[in-house]
Amino acid sequence: MQIEQLNAVIRETFTELVNDGYKKSHICGVTLGVSNVPQFDSFMKGVDFGIKPLQRIIGNQEFELKIVVTPKNNEEISKFINNLNHESIKNIKTNMIKTLDNESSVRLASIPKTGAIAGVASDLFNEIVK
């Protein structure tokens, strides 16, 4: 699977989630982080992500993005990798749905993770959830 194809599959997954009624801001929060809404909006409009954002999206769903170098025109290897990637994307979508359906996980993902306010917001959230 080429990076363009991976971007297309992830964009399609996000679009399906939005069509199923999940909020874009929540999807952004659980994948890229709440402070990356402009980047998320650009992605949804067709601007592809590079390796770093894709790693973050996939890593936040308990998967890893691995790069594989293969010989050209090896259909067996390509088919295996494509099948593995499609199965992983299905599992990532399932994980995202579980996270998006969990109100406390969505709230936690909606708190900025950096900056001066992030520490205070995190402490407040932890006190509220106790």
In 3D space, the residue among 70, 66, 58 whose CA is nearest the CA of residue 9 turns out to be 58
For 63-94, b/e burial (b = at least 16 CB within 10 A) is: eeeeeeeeeeeeeeeeeeeeeebeebbeebbe
The phi and psi torsions of 9 (rounded to 5 degrees) equal -70, -40
| pLDDT tens track for 28-72 | 988 998 888 899 999 999 999 999 999 999 998 899 999 989 999
Q: Is the pTM of this model over 0.85?
A: no
**pLDDT band, very low/low/confident/very high, at 1 (cuts 50, 70, 90):** confident
Question: Which one of 15-19, 35-39, 114-118 scores highest in mean pLDDT?
Answer: 15-19
Would you say 1 and 81 are in contact if contact means Cβ atoms under 8 Å apart? yes
